[in-house]
Amino acid sequence: MIQVDAKGLMQFINPNFVPIMTNKDRYFVLIGGAGSGKSVAVAQKLILRILKGMSKKKKHKFLCLRKTGPAAGNSIYPLLKDILNQWNLQRLYKVNKTTMSFHFVGGSEILCTGLDDPEKIKSIHGITGVWLEEATEFTHDDFKQLDLRVRGFTWDYKQLILSFNPIDENHWIRQKLFSDDIQAEIEAENQFARKEMTQEVGNKKITYAMSVMHSTYRDNEFLDDVYKARLENLINEDSNYYDIYCRGVWGVLKGLIFEHWEQCDVWPQDFDVSGYGIDFGFSVNPSSIVEAGFRGNDLYLREHCYKVGMTNKEIAVTLFGITHGRMEKPTVADSAEPKSIAEIRSLGHPCMPSVKGKDSVVFGIQRMKQYRILIYRESTNLIKELQGYKWATDRDGTPLNMPVKFNDHLIDAARYIITKLKGVPASLEIIDGSDGKQDFVEAANRETTPGDFAVDEDNDDIWQDF
């Protein structure tokens, strides 16, 4: 018999999130700022519930969702796997990498997927819990359909969990799910709020509830100091971003940079010209790869990679997988990382540095806005970035001629390749005759040459609570 020390596992759980581990309300909503630890806490809660089931010889089936399958594969799936390994539970489960599912001793399951195929979700029965990570990605109809799937008699409570950053006060979660009383509790920076709902069925009144936990980075005891400082510095860059990502309160999306773009269901097979952009990251920021393709006046963008902790070798391997070994299309990466670019080239994949200079970010944005922008529907993180990408403001709310430098990794990658493929807008070439700006214009508009593509060589008393 495999013994699991429940008390020992508690050392891994942030004390500020311990109350959510025992919450049994129908709906549990975790709203808050970046880096608060809410996603980790939800994953830990689901695993603890499965361990409780094992102790009672009972089963769970949890459905963990992002809007798309690729997004789930880059976020909730590796998060759950990391926690299971950190807790040394490898002997208790097997993982199916293809379906992104965990199958536990005793029959419990965790299924990680997206809503790409709603009919597939409808075929899953016996669900005891659903987790909507980055819940603002989902529509109100998505939520209602999932709510209807969590039904029937089960040995333990059923629960829908939503976790997200509050990016827009006009979002359906704020307008449809939150009451004014709940919102008042959040604005008062209270950590927990709860509302009960009563419905008469026949001659019987049935009461169920929704609990809300508000958290910020200050609630995360495991967060590094540099990231804390980065969040606090948002007050100097944009007050709205400071509210959303540092204070964890609903934002007001004004001054969006890209207001007109569409989603497309089909990715074209042929383009007039296309290529790939890379923005490097590692421990906190994700490494990001975007494909950009032009057909007439249409600009197509597709997210290929958005993942933290990637080495340059892993980025190169990912590029080979994306291009299937064909290297005729240019790949442009952040020129601030020359060593990374050199390493990718030494591994056999062409890669050239982006062109930067004074106002290069604004130039890149203006070039993108000259086209009809279509985003491939599976590009969940790119869509999220576009929905929040806005002009910075000062402390008085006055707009500045620069975007907020936060959550823009895929957009940056897109700018690098687009500027290389198309240059900067001709109308901007003679604006301000400073040498730095003109140097940038000339470099960005320079025709690509073949040389640019050269390749360098036992605990029942504990379990009963969860």
Give the model's confidence band at 463: pLDDT under 50 very low, under 70 low, under 90 confident, else very high. very low
Report which of residues 220 and 456 the model is more confident about: 220
Q: Give the pLDDT score at 325.
A: 78
Give the model's confidence band at 276: pLDDT under 50 very low, under 70 low, under 90 confident, else very high. very high
Query: pLDDT tens digits for 122-148?
Result: 778 889 999 999 999 999 999 999 999
CB distance 393 to 239 below 8 Å? yes
Return the residue matching tokens 């804390």. 228
Record the pTM. 0.75
Domain boundaries 6-223, corresponding CATH code: 3.40.50.300
Q: Give the pLDDT score at 350.
A: 92
pLDDT beyond 50 at 20: yes
Interatomic CA distance for residues 219 and 221, integer angstroms: 6
Q: Give the pLDDT score at 327.
A: 81
Task: State residue 432 phi and psi, 5-degree precision.
Answer: 55, 110
Q: Give the pLDDT score at 9.
A: 84
Interatomic CA distance for residues 269 and 281, integer angstroms: 29
Instruction: Report helix angle 360-369 to 435-445, nearest 10.
Output: 50
Per-residue CA distances from 463 to 7, 92, 154, 270, 356 (Å)? 9, 17, 17, 56, 56
pLDDT beyond 70 at 304: yes
Q: CATH number for 262-453: choose from 3.30.420.280, 3.30.56.10, 3.40.190.10, 3.40.50.10860.
A: 3.30.420.280
Per-residue CA distances from 151 to 26, 109, 157 (Å)? 11, 17, 10
Mean per-residue pLDDT for 433-455?
Answer: 42
pLDDT beyond 60 at 454: no
Torsion of CA 55, 57, 58, 60, to 10 degrees: 60
Give percent above pLDDT 90 in the chain. Answer: 65
HEC string for 409-455: HHHHHHHHHHHHHHCCCHHHCCCCCCHHHHHHHHHHHCCCCHHHHCC
| DSSP string covering 102-171 | EEETTS-EEEEEESS-HHHHHT-----EEEEETGGGS-HHHHHHHHHHS-S--SS--EEEEEE----TTS
Q: Give the pLDDT score at 228.
A: 94
pLDDT beyond 50 at 168: yes
First to last CA, the chain: 21
Give the model's confidence band at 413: pLDDT under 50 very low, under 70 low, under 90 confident, else very high. very high
Q: Give the pLDDT score at 434.
A: 37
The mean of the pLDDT values for the chain is 87
Q: Give the pLDDT score at 194.
A: 94
Interatomic CA distance for residues 161 and 36, integer angstroms: 16
Mean pLDDT is highest, among 214-223, 251-260, 385-394, 447-456, for: 214-223
Interatomic CA distance for residues 163 and 324, integer angstroms: 36
Mean per-residue pLDDT for 203-231?
Answer: 94
Mean per-residue pLDDT for 38-61?
Answer: 95
Residue 322 three-state SS? helix
pLDDT beyond 50 at 429: no
Q: Give the pLDDT score at 369.
A: 92
Domain chopping of the chain, boundaries? 6-223, 262-453
Q: At a CB cut-off of 8 Å and minimum separation 6, what does 169 contact? A: 250, 251, 252
pLDDT beyond 90 at 392: no
Q: Give the residue from 267, 20, 287 showing the smallest Cα distance to 161.
A: 20
Query: pLDDT tens digits for 101-112?
Result: 999 999 999 999
